[in-house]
Amino acid sequence: HRESTPGKVRSGKPQAFAYSVPVVCDKTQKVSHVRFRVKATACQGTHGSQDGLAICMRCMASYPMTMDELKVPQGIRDLAFPASGIVIVTGETGSGKTTLLGSFIREKATQELPVHIVTYEDPIEYDYRSIPNKTAIIAQTEVGEMIGSFDDAIPDAMRRNPDIIKVGEVSEEKGIKNALLAGQSGHLVYTTVHAEGVAITFSRMVTAFPHEAQAGVMQSLIASTRGIIHQRLLNKKDGGRIPVQEWLEIGRDEREILLDVPVKEITSTLERLVEERGQPLLRDLESKKDLIDEVDYKLNRRSLIKNEFKKEE
């Protein structure tokens, strides 16, 4: 990967990066590339030595699929491309957040009117430069190698005059503040958050701040966010995986409702808005029941119904 990578891994700093292998076609002699997402971690070696290395490699496409190929629902398409503000995709690791956001980037990168897109990723997975029929100018920066941290991403981006900023993750106080600043200054910002659903997203984000600052941050999040999507990937009966999604577009009416309730009622209010104006996860799960592996379906349905009972209590 890089000369510094083995030393970093041995010193107790696991490394995540993309690895590309050139492949030459026997017939045409054309060179293409097979890409892998790699995780390298130090571990115990042979006979108990301390110099072992565990490497996990996941094969991935060179560039993202289109929204049509992913069968992205109309409700998500409607909220995915505001003129400015923040669009948040939530879910656990491996839930397809990068794939979904990649389809958004591909859509914007191939439109007739060219745009300037900057991304900050850890690691860089898709090579957006290889998107077919690309009209956009795209610069991808790998966090930890090309820039210090996600906290540094937005200040760097603001000096580069982009139309769209994609930040792999915002979870700390500084990073969230910077994302809010970019969203409020006329940029379209895509980012991800580890949260169990749309309704809990804002509350999860404000916990990164001191208690006395949380009300102000919540107001800023409501004012800047244009949509929240939550996604899970479940096993299909016939093999492969299928996304189960919930979403809420946050327009002017939704913002007025959210700004009018106390911070402690934001989550319950978002739950109601998702049910009335968006798409709740349980509804999407039930609509895809015949496609989903029975065990996965039952486990997810049980957890979602338990959550419903907790709300009623």
DSSP 169-219: ---SHHHHHHHHHHHHTT-EEEEEE--SSTTTHHHHHHTTS-GGGHHHHHH
CB atoms near residue 176 (< 10 Å): 24
Confidence of residue 307 (pLDDT cuts 50, 70, 90): low
Helix residue spans in the chain (DSSP H): 5-10, 67-70, 74-79, 97-109, 153-158, 173-184, 201-206, 214-224, 252-259, 266-277, 281-287, 294-312
**Statement: the pTM of the whole predicted model exceeds 0.85:** yes
Tell me how far apart the alpha carbons of residues 63 and 59 are, in angstroms, rounded to a whole number.
12
Q: Please state, for a pLDDT cut of 70, what percent of the chain lies above it.
A: 97
Residue 311 above 70 pLDDT? no
Q: Please state, for a pLDDT cut of 90, what percent of the chain lies above it.
A: 66
Output the CA–CA distances (angstroms, integers) from residue 120 to 140, 176, 194, in the order listed.
Answer: 6, 14, 17
Nearest to 230 by CA among 154, 284, 288, 296: 284
Q: 93-96 contacts: CB < 8 A, separation 24 or more?
A: 93/194, 94/233, 95/231, 95/232, 95/233, 96/231, 96/233, 96/241, 96/243
Pairing of strands 85-90, 188-193: parallel
Cα dihedral sign, 222-83-155-200: positive
pLDDT number for residue 312 = 45
Tell me how far apart the alpha carbons of residues 103 and 108 are, in angstroms, rounded to a whole number.
9
Residue 27 above 70 pLDDT? yes
pLDDT number for residue 244 = 96
Residue 233 tokens read as: 């990937």
Q: What is the dihedral of CA 222, 64, 15, 5, to 10 degrees?
A: -130
Tell me how far apart the alpha carbons of residues 105 and 178 are, in angstroms, rounded to a whole number.
21
Phi then psi for residue 262, to 5 deg, are -65, 160
Residue 173 above 60 pLDDT? yes
Q: What is the pLDDT of residues 227-267, one digit of tens each?
A: 999 999 999 999 899 999 999 999 999 999 999 999 999 99
54 contacts 122 by C-beta, under 8 angstroms: no
Averaged pLDDT of the chain: 91
Confidence of residue 35 (pLDDT cuts 50, 70, 90): confident
Output the CA–CA distances (angstroms, integers) from residue 76 to 125, 144, 219, in the order listed.
Answer: 22, 31, 23
Q: What is the pLDDT of residues 45-93, one digit of tens each?
A: 888 787 888 999 988 888 899 999 999 999 999 999 999 999 999 999 8
